Amino acid sequence: MTITAELVTPGFTLPEWHADLQARVRDFADSVVAPAAYEYDTKRELPYEIIAEMGEMGLFGLPFPVEYGGQGRDYFALCLAVEQLARVDQSIAVTLEAGVGLGAMPIFRRGTEEQKQQWLPMLAGGTALAGFGLTEADAGSDAAGTKTVAELRDGQWVINGTKQFITNSGSKITRLVTITAVTGESTRADGSIKKELTAILVPVPTPGFVQLPAYDKVGWHTSDTHPLTLTDVRVPEANILGERGRGFANFIQTLDEGRVAFAALCTGAAQGCLEESIRYAKSRNVFGKNIGANQYIAFKIARMQARVHSARLAYYDAAFKIVNGQSFKMEASIAKMLGSEAAMDNARDATQIFGGYGFMNESPVARHYRDSKILEIGEGTTEVQLAVIARSLGFDAL
């Protein structure tokens, strides 16, 4: 990956380019994304014109080399952009985070040169989206539960199965979904069966590949999320992504990296609740004074600030390790766990501070309250993060 000459330092002072990007995306979020958030949340539609503007700004191509249509920057730049968008609209932020981390990044990391040339320019330009189909009814963290199968017949993979909860899989600009499938089995020494999982690129549209109606979700109403069915889907043998049999292992590595950007999203959500609470506490007057003059409210907001600060430091640290080529698996899980808990706790406190107004859907904190719960579930639950951290400390937690 191309990395900028100036990287964020352990002291977390942003280099000029990163600071400029942060300010530019923050302005875009406040002036373009925020005013449209309630409308599209109500309509449950992905705002394609906003996605197009994000593509023109180069946000989908931030961590990719220029030769593949990217901006030639680093993964930390992506995290900064995701954080600023999540302050005002988590759905838009996760569209970017998943589009890059789960859609394009696996191709960049493990694709052939031909696959990179074919797919990355459109994904990095934001003119197309891609999803990653791992989760099934009985499979996700438990790879052994995967039931989708792919058989090699006459130079083609023939795929049959179902996937669920797949982000960016059914939008008008979705052009690719990478799926994991069982491509073989072997018998272990103890007699148990080991499934061979392989990642395969499925262009959209492809006969037999069906995006079922979008989910009726509690939150993230603007984000595109669908269940998928694959019935005798045929793609060329060359559509394998990475090595045969390494599909799940490679995805776990991708997920480790993705958790850092996801932690940035969580931090942005927590920051958005903090900013709204500060504004409201200083403007809402009760009994002749603003409610922020009450110690209880002021202290609640102080705790919100502490959570944001801790979450941001955690994901900055993990991102620093990524761009410097250091091990970051444990730090990614710490950042994801701290960030998701900060977002959920801040959303709860912000709703309490707003009172009745916080229960109205047009209120940004109401959307954060609905949206934030998935942050403790998606891209690895809190319990999974604890297991990763425990294993990093030498405990066999799973």
Give the catalytic positions in this structure: 379
Which residue spans within 122-208 are E strands per DSSP? 129-133, 149-153, 156-167, 174-187, 193-203
DSSP 237-252: GGGEESSTT-HHHHHH
The closest of 324, 256, 269, 325 to 105, measured between CA atoms, is 256
Residue 151 has which token pair? 């058989």
Question: Where does the chain have alpha helices with state H?
Answer: 16-28, 34-43, 48-56, 75-86, 90-98, 105-110, 113-124, 247-283, 295-323, 329-354, 364-372, 382-392
Instruction: Name residues whose C-beta falls within 8 Å of residue 366's C-beta, 6 or more positions apart in sequence.
Output: 351, 358, 359, 360
Q: State the CB neighbour count (10 A cutoff) for residue 175.
A: 16
Burial class (CB in 10 A: 0-12, 13-18, 19+), 340: buried
| Residues 129/95, Cβ–Cβ less than 8 Å | yes
Rounded Cα gap, residues 102 and 95, in angstroms: 10
Q: State the CB neighbour count (10 A cutoff) for residue 206.
A: 16
Q: How far is CA 8 from CA 4, 22, 185, 242, 372, in A?
A: 10, 13, 45, 31, 28
3-state secondary structure of 199: strand
Residue 349 has which token pair? 């406190």
Residue 176 has which token pair? 């690719």
Q: State the CB neighbour count (10 A cutoff) for residue 295.
A: 9
